[in-house]
Homo-oligomer: A and B are copies of this chain.
Amino acid sequence: MNKAELVDALETRLGGKRQATVAVEAIVEMITLTVAKGDKVAISGFGTFEKQARNARTGRNPRTGEAVKIKKTSVPRFRPGTAFKEVVSDTKALRAYTAGAKERAASGLTSVAPAAPATTARKAAPATRTSAAKTAAPAAAPARKTATKAAPAARKAAPAKAAPAKAAPAKAAPAKAAPAKAAPAKTAPARSAAKTTTAARTTTAKTATKRAAAKKA
């Protein structure tokens, strides 16, 4: 769903496409600016937007493997709230939530009011929560440090698996044409090459050309 579709979907609820558009843009801007200022935007039941500082670190160019220094920066972060997580992870919760939403949509169309139905719906959802506080967790930390060193192995495993997967496809196609890994050395990554070849479409070419022209100009 893109922005246009979102606006379209909200059109009914907000009383017109204009309102919907303005609303979406306004909210987006507000959140953006607020987060930029350093304040967090907490929307209950949905999530929290906040500015998160990132320390400088040593990155790595995936293509070349070359190390690059990355200076500290700040990035926006969103932490989904409980309700949101539940609805996304739980189908039942989704239905419950949807029901509530419908009610709200119906009544809230022109009239402003109906928070009541919403609340009801909300209540229903929590009931399904699995978290409950039943475990008392008596003993503090008996064997906390029993850490298992299996980690490294596991880590390795994953990447290993990944590599083959990638290799296979790559090799398959370009075998005789232009080995991805090898050729790319020059400039183009394997897959690009293949694709380009196949789809060296005029359109694409044109677009590229145009772009170039535009930029140059």
User: Shortest distance in angstroms between A112's beta carbon and chain B's nearest beta carbon?
Assistant: 4
Minimum Cβ distance to chain B for residue A162 (Å): 3
* Known A-B contacts A47-B76, A140-B64, A170-B181; A188 and B200 likewise in contact (beta carbons under 8 Å): yes
Establish whether residues B187 and A65, one from each chain, have CB atoms under 8 Å apart when the complex forms. Answer: no
Count identical subunits in the complex.
2
Report chain B residues within 8 Å CB of A186.
Answer: 156, 159-160, 163, 179-181, 197
Measured between alpha carbons, how far is A32 from B43 in the docked complex, in Å? 12
Q: Are A26 and B1 in contact (CB under 8 A)?
A: no
Instruction: Give residues of chain A (19-59) contacting chain B, Cβ–Cβ below 8 Å.
Output: 19, 21-37, 39-47, 51
Contact yes or no, A212 B216, CB < 8 A: no
Q: Which of A95-154 contact B (CB under 8 A)?
A: 97-98, 101, 104-105, 108, 112, 118, 135, 137, 139-146, 148
What is the CB-to-nearest-CB distance from A135 to chain B, in angstroms, rounded to a whole number? 8
Q: Is the CB of B187 within 8 A of A66?
A: no
Closest B residue, CB atoms, query A215: B210
Mask, A70-98, CB within 8 Å of B = 1, is 00011111101001110111000010011
Interface string of A5-23 (1 = CB under 8 A from B): 0100110011000110111
**Are B64 and A88 touching (Cβ within 8 A)?**
no
Q: Assess whether A88 is in contact with B44, with CB atoms less than 8 Å apart.
A: no
> CA–CA, A68 to B44, complex, Å?
29
| A64, B166: Cβ atoms closer than 8 Å | yes
Q: How far is the CA of A135 from the CA of B66 in the complex (A)?
A: 11
Q: Using A14-B23, A160-B185, A183-B193 as known contacts, list a sample of 17 further A-B pairs with CB atoms less than 8 Å apart, ordered by residue number in A.
A: A6-B31, A25-B104, A27-B27, A32-B83, A35-B88, A51-B88, A64-B158, A64-B159, A64-B162, A64-B165, A160-B186, A172-B182, A173-B179, A178-B180, A180-B184, A187-B198, A196-B200
